[in-house]
Structure 1
Amino acid sequence: IIPIIPLSEPYRENSEVVTWAAETAKNVMRFDYIDYKARLQQVSPSFTPGGWESFNKALKDSNLLDALQARKLVLTMTVNAAPEIINSGLHNGIYTWDLRMPVTIKMDGAEPPQPINASLLLRVVRVSNLQNPDGISIEQWVTLTGQNNR
């Protein structure tokens, strides 16, 4: 029997959320020009429906998938330091964590790797364990590069 914990309560310790966010982010951003559709489908349960929709829109708007296919690239992301919780608490009645982590996104292919240093901002929210057994999911994913990387 799994106890039902209200979405207004954290359910996870901050340290668990930080670890989950780092591992999930690395998992999400690990695919290549051949398997990207299957890989992205595998990680979709880590997002809320709205979070998944906005993540996909950002991928399309960035033309990343087009570049991946055209240049036959492999994409990976490393988390360069433990995520920092910059805010946590109730947001619209749901427990929420806002995290920031420094990341390096690398696209490997025929040419030398092209590392991109960025800040990844995640909003992680409490969800029903029926929606995600972890009890948390990504509601928002924002990657800041260049001058916005602060």
Structure 2
Amino acid sequence: MQSVSNYAVLPTAKGHIRWHISLTRLLWCRILVNDFQTVVARRMDDSPKPPASSKAKPDAVSPLGGYPPLAIDVAKLAFYGRHFGKLVAAILILSFAQCAQVGWNMFKERREVRREYFGVDFKTGRMVRLVPLNEPYLAKPAMLTRVQECVQGANTYDFVNFQQSFQSISTCFTDGGWNAFAQELERVGTLKAVRRQRLVTQAVATGVPVIIGEQQIGGVLTYTVQMPIRVSFQGGEGGRGLATQNLLITATVQRVPEYENQYGIGISAYTAEERRQ
């Protein structure tokens, strides 16, 4: 089985943190360089100037007054004086945003979340959602619909293809439920009568299935469902209808692993009682 969680920390959050750190470092370096250049320019401005009569070398004196071109340009620029406060505010805002981002990521990492797990059915290759056996896999209406289909299918067969019919509905039962169904057929003698008299049976529901019990047995969610059906027996000479039987089916339905049954349920017990109408 393989499991996959639908909750994960997005890798882009770490990228945002690195981007904030890089930008913050860049701004701090820029401010330090500007401050250093300004201090250098001021110190050079305070240093004694050479006499006017002295001649400096052409390549050592700039046409702007004898200061290095880079230092004099930084000292003269008013941009840094006007926007220094804004740069500091931007750094503070980015630092706060970075701290908030780190805090949010730590919160997402540490908080408890509801995870969903999936497995792979190795027979079909399809993904199935894994649900604990003490929780329902299908909603109750869908579960009752499935039980109705199984009960009608289990009581619809003929004297020729009854083995194929039973094989097709065997997925409705657990191993113990299938044995209980076979024993019930043997006890009632329906299958023997169908084979001996060469009959065809057809089952229809005469009422909706009803949940009469719900409990957990050994940590497994279990339902007790009842539904009435009418079984018609047809065949014999001339294909005439021979009999109609009204039955009350009581089935115990329990949760099973999804990789064993795609519906997540199976009939674990089966009884049929004849009803008088």
- TM-score, reference length from structure 2: 0.51
Q: How far 1:113 sits from its partner (Å)?
A: 3.1
Alignment of 1:16-95 (within 5 A): 16-95=142-221
Q: CA deviation at 1:52?
A: 0.3
Of 241, 251, 254, the residue aligned with 1:112 is: 241
> Quick one: percent identity of the two aligned structures?
25
Name the one with the larger strand percent.
1
Show CA shifts across 1:7-31 (max 9, x none). Answer: 1111111111111111111112111
- Tell me the secondary structure at the aligned position of residue 65 of structure 1: helix
How many Å apart are 1:114 and its aligned residue? Answer: 0.7
Q: In 2, distance between residues paired with 1:65 and 1:82?
A: 25
Q: Deviation above 4 Å: which 4+ runs of structure 1?
A: none
Does residue 103 (structure 1) correspond to residue 229 (structure 2)? The answer is: yes
Number of residue pairs aligned between Structure 1 and Structure 2:
148
Structure label with greater radius of gyration: 2
Q: Which runs of 5+ in 2 are unaligned?
A: 1-126
Q: CA deviation at 1:133?
A: 0.7
Q: Which residue of 2 aligns with 1:136?
A: 265
What is the identity, as a one-letter code, of the residue corresponding to 1:118? L
Contact 2:128 2:259 in 1 (8 A): no
Whole-angstrom distance in 1 between the partners of 2:143 and 2:224:
10
Is 107-116 or 129-138 further displaced after alignment?
107-116
Q: Per-residue CA shift, 1:47-97, capped at 9, x if unaligned?
A: 000000111111122222211111110011111111011111312211111
Q: In the aligned structure 2, how far is the partner of 1:86 from the partner of 1:102?
A: 13
Task: Write the distance in 2 (CA, Å) between the matches of 1:39 and 1:24.
Answer: 11
Structure with bigger RCO (C-alpha 8 Å, 6+ apart): 1
Aligned-residue Cα RMSD (Å) equals 1.5
Structure 1 residues without counterparts, runs of 5 or longer: none
Of Structure 1 and Structure 2, the greater helix share is in 2
Find out whether 1:125 has 2:257 as its counterpart. no
Deviation string, structure 1 residues 93-127 (Cα, Å, up to 9, x no partner): 11111111111111111343311112111111100
TM-score, with structure 1 as normaliser: 0.92
Whole-angstrom distance in 1 between the partners of 2:275 and 2:157: 23
